[in-house]
């Protein structure tokens, strides 16, 4: 006997994302999500295969927020930059989901479409085949790596500890042993994440412009 679903997959996705945004990764459980949706845990299994499947759904909810103009400009660097920035911003909007984005694999068309758009831009730098593959791997690595670095890297600013404290911790290292770390910790005080990402991205784009 056909029964209408109690809630849509989209509703479930939205509720799961809200749970992680608000309570972090450990706030996401089948049971917690179920009660947020007003049902029992087992109901979720009508919409989702298992917990990992649910996590992929959360990842895709975040990635879906990356939007870009479909056409392309006459400057491939500008296109690649726009694409990279929109993904990076989507990740930054949901910092507590980043660990999931880094570790779960999605086969959603969102990922393929983004990849294809980025490849279209990079191809216009004059690359194809192996060189295009390397360029693609490098730029996606840079995006994910910057997101990771803010979350868990040496100068990570999130994850509970306030930014100023992390910087202070590095600033107070022995200056003779760690002059470089002290230096960048000072610089980090009057910097911001988007600027750092943009300038880091520009370094790679410079490399992509030069080599052939």
* Footprint on this chain of a second copy (rule: CB under 8 A): 99, 102-105, 111-112, 115-116, 118-120, 122-123, 128-138, 140-146, 148-149, 151-156, 159, 173, 177-181, 183-184, 186-188, 190-191, 196, 199-208, 210-211
What CA–CA distance (Å, rounded) separates 151 from 143? 13
Member of 16, 17, 20, 47 binding DNA (CB under 7 A) = 47
* Part in contact with DNA (CB under 7 A); list of ranges 42-50, 103-111, 138-146, 188-196: 42-50
7 binds DNA (CB under 7 A): yes
DSSP the chain: -----SS-HHHHHHHHHHHHHHH-GGG--HHHHHHHTTS-GGGGGGT-SSHHHHHHHHHHHHHTT----SS--S-HHHHHHHHHHHHHHHHHT-GGGHHHHHH-----HHHHHHHHHHHHHHHTTT--HHHHHHHHHHHHHHHHHHHHHHHHSTT---SSS-HHHHHHHHHTS-TTT-HHHHHHHHHHHT--HHHHHHHHHHHHHHHHHH--
CA 131, distance to chain mean position in Å, is 24
Nearer to DNA, 33 or 119 (CB): 33
Least Cβ distance, residue 45 to a second copy (angstroms): 19
# of chain residues touching DNA (CB under 7 A): 23
* Part in contact with DNA (CB under 7 A); list of ranges 28-36, 109-117, 141-149, 190-198: 28-36
Token pair for residue 41? 């845990």
65 binds DNA (CB under 7 A): no
45 binds DNA (CB under 7 A): yes
11 binds DNA (CB under 7 A): no
Nearer to a second copy, 36 or 120 (CB): 120
Least Cβ distance, residue 144 to a second copy (angstroms): 4
Positions touching DNA (CB under 7 A) are 1-7, 28-32, 39-43, 45-47, 50-52
């Amino acid at each position: 006997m056909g029964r209408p679903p109690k809630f849509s997959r989209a509703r479930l996705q939205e509720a799961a994302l809200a749970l992680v945004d608000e309570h972090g990764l450990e706030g996401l459980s089948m049971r917690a999500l179920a009660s947020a949706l007003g049902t029992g845990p087992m109901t979720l299994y009508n919409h989702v295969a298992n917990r990992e499947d649910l996590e992929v759904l959360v990842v895709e909810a975040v990635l879906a927020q990356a939007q870009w103009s479909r056409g392309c400009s006459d400057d491939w660097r500008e296109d690649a930059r726009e694409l990279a920035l929109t993904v990076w911003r989507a990740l930054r909007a949901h910092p507590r989901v980043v660990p999931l984005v880094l570790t779960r694999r999605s086969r959603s068309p969102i990922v393929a479409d983004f990849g294809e758009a980025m490849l279209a831009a990079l191809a216009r730098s004059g690359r194809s085949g192996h060189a295009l593959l390397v360029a693609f791997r490098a730029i996606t690595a840079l995006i994910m790596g910057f997101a990771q670095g803010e979350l868990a890297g040496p100068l990570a600013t999130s994850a509970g500890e306030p930014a100023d404290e992390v910087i202070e911790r590095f600033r107070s290292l022995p200056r003779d042993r760690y002059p470089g770390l002290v230096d960048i910790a000072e610089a980090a005080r009057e910097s911001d994440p988007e600027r750092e990402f943009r300038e880091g991205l520009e370094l790679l784009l410079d490399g992509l412009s030069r080599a052939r």
